[in-house]
A and B are shown apart, each in its own frame.
Chain A
Amino acid sequence: DARVTQTPRHKVTEMGQEVTMRCQPILGHNTVFWYRQTMMQGLELLAYFRNRAPLDDSGMPKDRFSAEMPDATLATLKIQPSEPRDSAVYFCASGPSRAVYSYNEQFFGPGTRLTVL
């Protein structure tokens, strides 16, 4: 049963610390998405990649957030330095993709619940 995995599932850290969240997409999927979920803002798209290249990261605060795909089996989202307002659940999703005009189904991971004190 192929699933998107995310680590850690929970993270509590202090303001100013670096946070790294990891995602392993489903094998064979070449599109990866990062979302943030909060009570106030709902689900927001932060960034997404196709074939490891960033396609859109306009939803991400550039000064402190960075997203990368070092290889096809790993996507990372880093926050440095973290702030209390970054507290949220961060979801990774992956999907198959054939062309920019085609439909993509997204399969979500269980999320990383981040608390910044």
Chain B
Amino acid sequence: AQSVTQLDSQVPVFEEAPVELRCNYSSSVSVYLFWYVQYPNQGLQLLLKYLSGSTLVKGINGFEAEFNKSQTSFHLRKPSVHISDTAEYFCAVSENNQGGKLIFGQGTELSVKP
């Protein structure tokens, strides 16, 4: 069965510093990978996705993620964060024979301090 592990529940960081949010998954078949962001009292919004092709994926708001098949990881990065990036970030996996069903990690709370 597929599963997603987000290794850090909270990540505090100062404004303009780089950040990496870690995500590992397990699956026996090919997968699609996603990062979603949730701002307070809102629904989830898609940041970026990996479907196939280039392992480096760029998303909105300056975020990018790299798919590493050998390490079964899909870590999210941003070279310089802003206060407005403070939110909860969810990694998700979908097996390519599951019709879009997503399994989410537990989430990482990113807190950007001035």
Residues of A within 8 A of B (CB): 4, 31, 33, 42-43, 45, 48, 50, 55-56, 91, 93, 95, 97, 100-111
Contact = CB atoms under 8 A, between A and B. Distances in A.
A109 B43 contact: yes
B43 A95 contact: no
A111 B43 contact: yes
B101 A56 contact: yes
Nearest to B96: A101
Interface stretch (B18-26, B57-65, B70-78, B103-111): B103-111
Contacts, number: 60
Nearest to A107: B46
A107 B43 CA distance: 9
B86 interface: no
A93 B102 CA distance: 11
B43 A110 contact: yes
Contacts of B101: 33, 45, 48, 56
Interface residues of B, number: 23
A11 B103 CA distance: 26
Contacts of B46: 105-107
Contacts of B99: 31, 50, 55, 97, 100-102, 104
Given A43-B90, A43-B104, A103-B51, A91 B97 contact: no
Contacts of B55: none
B92 to A, nearest CB: 8
Nearest to A105: B46
Contacts of A56: 101
B42 interface: yes
Contact of A95 (B41, B100, B106): B100
B44 interface: yes
A68 to B, nearest CB: 19
A100 B43 contact: no
Contacts of B100: 31, 33, 48, 95, 97, 102-104, 106
Interface string B87-101: 000100010110111
16 contacts: A31-B99, A31-B100, A42-B106, A42-B107, A56-B101, A97-B99, A97-B100, A102-B99, A102-B100, A103-B100, A104-B94, A106-B100, A106-B102, A108-B36, A109-B43, A110-B43
